[in-house]
Amino acid sequence: METTKKDELVTSLKGVGSGTATALHELGIETLEDLVMTFPYRHEDFRLKNLAETPHNERVTVEGRVESEPSLLFLGKNKSRLQVRLLAGQHLIKAVFFNQAYLKTKLELGQVVTVTGKWDRGRQVVNVTTFSSGPKTDQQDFEPVYSLKGTINQKTFRKFMRLALDELAQVLIDVLPESLRITYRLPGISEALEGIHFPQNVDHSKNARRRFVYEELLIFQLKMQAIKKVRKEQNKGNSVAYDNNQLKKLIETLPYELTNAQKRVVNEICRDLKEPHRMNRLLQGDVGSGKTVVAAISLYAVITAGYQGALMAPTEILAEQHASSLDEWLSPMGVRMALLTGSTKTKARRIVLENLEAGNIDLLIGTHALIQPDILFNQLGLVITDEQHRFGVEQRRVLKEKGENPDVLFMTATPIPRTLAITAFGEMDVSIIDEMPAGRKEIDTHWMKEDQLHKIIVRLTRELANGRQAYIICPLIEESEKLDVQNVVDVYTMMSAALGKDYTVGLMHGRLHSDEKEGVMREFSEGKVQVLVSTTVVEVGVNVPNATFMIIFDAERFGLAQLHQLRGRVGRGEHQSYCILLADPKSEEGKERMMSMTETNDGFVLAEKDLELRGPGDFFGRKQSGLPEFKVADLVHDYRALNTAKVDAEKMLNSVDFWHSEEMEGLRSVLINSKVLEGERID
């Protein structure tokens, strides 16, 4: 776009006074460019349709000749009903206007008029909202509807939009290279803007949208990849000279042989560690695929090279569990470990901090407590965060900055659909553990109603009699932790009544003190508690291989990703496991989620399904996701455009000639302005 004209303030438009300017300002619109880049969220459709095929209650636009004198009826203060007969093609219909008495004079016998309203039982247009004298041809087929607030209305906004588009039409410079526009048959910027605001027809609108989706995703990909490239070149990380023999020794002492996927991933990580740039890697592996041991090996690698390692988990229970697994594997190798969580006592904490700074601790495991400002490492070489999507961007940054360019590995058991992986983690390298340890059995999953509970308990008792254990997961009540607790206590009471005679039933929820939680969890993992009634605090990572039975109450309240996570607490050992979803979903979507759970154990399949059903915003939950917000693109439907944009961005950045060619000038300046070429983060 040309610099001067598009940067002109909206007040340069005829009719925009200070009042309007203020209203536009509230919408974030200052310049002409801001204005034309404010897209409508939908269009009102004023096309004439075949009345015979128009369903009852649908909005409809009708062009017709006035066939009767209008009749006007006053129904009280400011209330009136005006009606008239129209001949629309073959159809003699009625048009009914409420509270628009002033239109009476415009409905002259024999005149052609156009009305829009609700089509009622094939006979009349009721509640006319839009009226114009004269035939439909005088009116646009599609009228944009914008998301507005404040004093400005749609009509005024449209008027200024029209003016701004006319002002800019001749002077806009297109950022998209012409060669690409030709390849993909994308409209140029002026035509696209026209089509996104005031389309002549459906194709006009579709092509305009296609163009902006591509442009948006291409620029996004260029930024992501530029960052990745610049980081690789500039980020002098540690070249970790780990001791390969020591690593082999550790791997030999493990209680099992690594799966091929684990071996591959360990190699990918070790290669990154050795290289002098900073590792920024995402490790994806379904629940139970064995990420912990990969973390242990990676941490041990940096420790053999004289660095410290840190492992951060989202909950205390998980941190403790990691600590005990890693202790088992790494202590025999001489690794000095410490655990730091929110409940570490002040004095113990101080000792840990001192030893950490002095370099007497090789490995620190913990929760968010690890990223407090007073925690200083001696020489931090590798940071691993487990279940990384639960951490915000900011926390990730703080932790990275604790050491001198530590390598960073993010682990997640929530399989991320491909499109989201490219977008949310586009600037990262990705490793995937796509293989389960041998002998793992599929979890047999059933969807049942709560009135079958007694039958389920009979089945559960059989598992318990065979020496197995069970989880009972209680509904998640989003609004209130208090209700969560009440719920879990109710279920606990019921289960204790049903099973308490022969078995020990434990209770776990977020309100318990961490010692209590730890106590219950320990008793469960030692088999002293056979049935654990819990809220979703057991969701991530918890590992009790002897647990083979899970009941999830009100399963329809959970998203697929979370159900899959929960279900992953069973099926971790040699025995066949079962998961019962108690659910009575009202929506089709809810039913589909339950069906999907019973049909597959594959987290990636479920992730794609979840994305499709709930959309990208909900996929990661409400917490900070690191997901970019797109203006036009939609990650569910535009995944093909995303892939195309990704490939094109790679080509552009890898071909020096193309990158510096004249037609790339627009995109180059977008990147230069966003500062990503200096390696700055875009979010």
- Give phi and psi for 91, each to the nearest 5: -95, 125
Of 117-146, binders to ligand ADP (CB under 6 A) are none
- Of the candidate residues 188, 437, 628, 666, the single one contacting ligand ADP (CB under 6 A): 437
Where does this chain touch Mg ion (CB under 5 A) — which range of 198-206, 228-236, 449-457, 537-545?
A: 537-545
Which residues, 236 to 295, sit near ligand ADP by CB under 6 A? 256, 258-259, 262, 285, 287-293
Measured CA to CA, the distance from residue 314 to residue 411 in angstroms comes to: 11
Q: How many residues bind Mg ion (CB under 5 A)?
A: 1
The answer to whether the beta carbons of residues 450 and 459 sit under 8 Å apart is no
Residues 631-670 within binding reach of Mg ion (CB under 5 A): none
Residue placing its CB nearer to ligand ADP in the complex, 260 or 587: 260
Name the one residue in this structure whose structure tokens are 């035939």.
135
Contact 286, 604 (CB under 8 A): yes
Q: How far is the CB of 291 from Mg ion (least distance, A)?
A: 5
Shortest Å distance, C-beta 313 to ligand ADP: 10
Q: Are 259 and 436 in contact (CB under 8 A)?
A: yes
HSE-CB at 339 with a 13 A cutoff on CA atoms is: 19
Q: Which of 572, 575, 593, 609 binds ligand ADP (CB under 6 A)?
A: 572
- Say which residue the tokens 């590798």 belong to: 382
At its nearest, how many Å lie between Mg ion and the CB of residue 320?
A: 13
Strand blocks (E) in 52-139: 59-66, 71-74, 80-88, 91-98, 112-120, 124-133
Orientation angle between helical segments 481-499 and 453-465, nearest 10 degrees = 70
For the CA atoms of 478, 480, 486, 489, the dihedral, rounded to the nearest 10 degrees, stands at: 50
* Nearest CB to ligand ADP, comparing residues 174 and 386: 386
Q: Does 543 bind ligand ADP (CB under 6 A)?
A: yes
Residue 441 makes contact with ligand ADP by CB under 6 A: no
**Where does 543-664 have alpha helices with state H?**
560-567, 588-599, 603-614, 616-619, 639-654, 656-659
| Cα–Cα separations (whole angstroms), residue 655 to 181, 224, 349, 649, 652 | 19, 17, 53, 10, 5
Q: What's the rounded Cα separation, in Å, for the pair 567 and 5?
A: 58
Least gap, CB of 570 to Mg ion (angstroms): 15
Which of 40/285 has CB closer to ligand ADP?
A: 285
Residue 316 CB, nearest distance to ligand ADP (Å)? 16
Please tell me the distance from the alpha carbon of residue 402 to that of residue 380, in angstroms, as a whole number: 8
Q: Which does 545 bind (CB under 5 to 8 A by kind): ligand ADP, Mg ion, none?
A: ligand ADP
Contact range with Mg ion by CB under 5 A, out of 187-195, 490-498, 533-541, 641-649? 533-541
Give the range of 235-243, 458-466, 525-533, 539-547 binding Mg ion by CB under 5 A.
539-547
The nearer residue to ligand ADP, 437 or 628, going by C-beta atoms, is 437
Rg value, the chain, Cα: 32
- Spatial contact of 344 and 397, defined as CB atoms under 8 Å apart: no
Cα 583 from Cα 585, distance rounded (Å): 6
Instruction: Provide the strand spans (E) within 184-312.
Output: 280-285, 308-312
Q: Which is nearer to ligand ADP, 188 or 437 (CB)?
A: 437
Of 117, 314, 475, 541, the one binding Mg ion (CB under 5 A) is: 541
Q: Answer with the entry of ligand ADP, Mg ion, none that 74 interacts with (C-beta below 5 to 8 A by kind).
A: none
Which CA distances in Å does 112 have to 82, 120, 129? 17, 21, 17
Supply the minimum distance, in Å, between the C-beta of residue 385 and Mg ion.
11
Choosing among Mg ion, ligand ADP, none, which partner's interface includes residue 289 (Cβ < 5 to 8 Å by kind)?
ligand ADP
Burial of 394 (0-12, 13-18, 19+ CB in 10 A): exposed
Nearer to Mg ion, 34 or 387 (CB): 387
- Least gap, CB of 292 to Mg ion (angstroms): 5
Closest approach, Cβ 518 to ligand ADP, in A, equals 18
**Of 521-529, 537-545, 585-593, 626-634, which part binds ligand ADP (CB under 6 A)?**
537-545
- What distance in Å separates the CA atoms of residue 6 and residue 18, rounded to the nearest whole number? 19
Place of tokens 């993909």: 184
The stretches of 104-201 forming alpha helices (DSSP H) are: 154-168, 178-184, 189-197
Cβ proximity to Mg ion, 310 vs 356, nearer residue: 310
Residue 298 interacts with, from Mg ion, ligand ADP, none (CB under 5-8 Å by kind): none
What's the min distance (Å) between Cβ of 291 and ligand ADP? 3
Asked if 571 is part of the footprint of ligand ADP (rule: CB under 6 A), the reply reads no
List phi, psi (to 5°) of 446. Answer: -130, 145
CA distance 372 to 307: 20
Q: Which residue is nearest to ligand ADP (CB)?
A: 290
The nearer residue to ligand ADP, 24 or 265, going by C-beta atoms, is 265
Nearest residue by C-beta to Mg ion? 541
Query: Given the complex with Mg ion, which of 23 and 318 has the nearer CB atom?
Result: 318
**Residues from 355 through 414 that contact ligand ADP (CB under 6 A):** 413
380 is in the binding site of which of Mg ion, ligand ADP, none (Cβ under 5 to 8 A by kind)? none
Least spacing, CB of residue 257 vs ligand ADP, in Å:
6
Give me the least distance between CB of 597 and ligand ADP, in Å please: 18
Which residue, 110 or 439, has its beta carbon nearer to ligand ADP?
A: 439
Q: How far apart are CA 473 and CA 113, in angstroms?
A: 63
* Distance in Å from the first CA to the final CA of the chain: 24
The residue (of 38 and 262) whose beta carbon lies closer to Mg ion is 262
377 by Cβ neighbours in 10 Å (0-12 / 13-18 / 19+) ranks as buried
Task: Select 309 or 541, whichever has its Cβ closest to Mg ion.
Answer: 541
Structure tokens at 528: 């002293």
Tokens 């002033």 belong to which residue? 102
Question: What is the C-alpha separation between 456 and 450, in angstroms, rounded?
Answer: 9
- Provide, rounded to whole angstroms, the least separation between the CB of residue 420 and ligand ADP: 19
- Which listed range, 52-60, 73-81, 392-400, 535-543, lies at the site for Mg ion (CB under 5 A)? 535-543
Task: Provide the minimum distance between the beta carbon of 335 and ligand ADP in the complex, in angstroms, as a whole number.
Answer: 18
Q: Do 33 and 7 contact (CB within 8 A), yes or no? A: yes
- Interface ranges with ligand ADP (CB under 6 A): 256, 258-259, 262, 285, 287-293, 413, 437, 541, 543, 545, 572
- Interface ranges with Mg ion (CB under 5 A): 541
